[in-house]
Amino acid sequence: MAVIKNDIWIANMANQGMIEPFEPQLVRKLDNLPVISYGLSSYGYDIRLSASEFRIFRHIPGTVVDPKRFNPENLEPAKLHHDNHGAYFILPAHSYGLGVAKEKLVVPENITVLCIGKSTYARIGLIANLTPAEAGWRGHLTLEFSNSSSADCRIYAEEGVVQLLFLEGEPCNISYETRSGKYQDQPEQVIVSKV
């Protein structure tokens, strides 16, 4: 039976290097300006979207996106914009984009992390794919977003973008680390599909 871990456990493990950088409380304002919350919550941790990179899928006539032979030309870099509300990328209507988490994770061997979307973004039609970080995984998560609305959407950099839920289970026989998973040690950049 899996058990969801609370803020006490998350803070203790973060102090041992599980999340870096770590924010021990839910941040809702920076320099007196509202931000999309990030940091520690009751039973999770809201991570931030890194300003380092965001890429949007584009159509190249005559090509099909193939996860076994991914063509990086199908991903176009998005410009980082700035105004008095913060730094942001624009995800066009009915499009799909990839970003990366600012925080680095080091997942313990008896924990699996589920990455779920924040309601603030879901309410404007921006859907974050449910993504796992398996037992023993480490690195910066590549995050996947779909704009299901008919309007372009802002996605703010350096602010909360998804929530992590930490589920403890019985120790597994072979962890992500043990099997040398293909997405191990991801840097703070978008990593495309690998086989």
Residues catalogued as catalytic: 144
Q: Which residues pair with 46 in a beta bridge?
A: 39, 163
List C-alpha distances in Å: 111 to 41, 136, 145, 167.
Answer: 18, 8, 24, 5
List C-alpha distances in Å: 180 to 49, 69, 92, 172, 174.
Answer: 26, 21, 36, 15, 10
In which element (H, E) is residue 10 found?
Answer: helix 7-15
Which among 90, 86, 154, 150 is positioned nearest to 120, based on CA atoms?
154
- Burial (CB count within 10 angstroms: exposed 0-12, middle 13-18, buried 19+), residue 73: exposed
